[in-house]
Each structure stands twice: as structure tokens, then as C-alpha cells.
Amino acid sequence: MSLVQALLAIFLPPVSVFLHRGIGFSLLLNILLWILGWIPGSVHAIMVLMNDEA
């Protein structure tokens, strides 16, 4: 995970997930979590980025 990806995951979670995975379930889930609260969206975006790195 690069610094740019990490910053996007913190400040603009849906953009980070979209750039990493494209349009799909993860993006829709992240948008929903982001609407419900900024922190859940950020945590989910970081989890998506870290899960694909392993």
C-alpha cells in the first residue's frame, strides 16, 4: 500500500476502493459505510487495500 493509497483511504475512502478494485460490491459497501460514517468507510477502505496486498 503506497502513501497515496493510504491517504485516499483515510480522506476519500470510496475513491480509494474504486481505484483499487473498480466498480463492484466492495465499492457499494464502502459508499454505504461512508454515508453512515466517515470512520467505518475509512476502516473498510484500509481493510480492502491491506487484504489485496497479502
pLDDT digits (tens, 9 = 90+) for 10-46: 999 999 999 999 999 999 999 999 999 999 999 999 9
Domain boundaries, the chain: 3-53
In this prediction, residue 2 carries a pLDDT of 86
* Confidence bin at 53 (pLDDT 50/70/90): low
Sequence length of the chain is: 54
Q: What is d(CA 25, CA 18) in angstroms, rounded to the nearest whole number?
A: 10
Q: Is 25 helix (H, G, I), strand (E, B) or coil?
A: helix
Statement: the pTM of the whole predicted model exceeds 0.85: yes
The single residue listed with the C-alpha cell 483499487 is 20
In this prediction, residue 1 carries a pLDDT of 74
pLDDT at 8 over 50: yes
**Which grid cell sits at 3?**
502513501
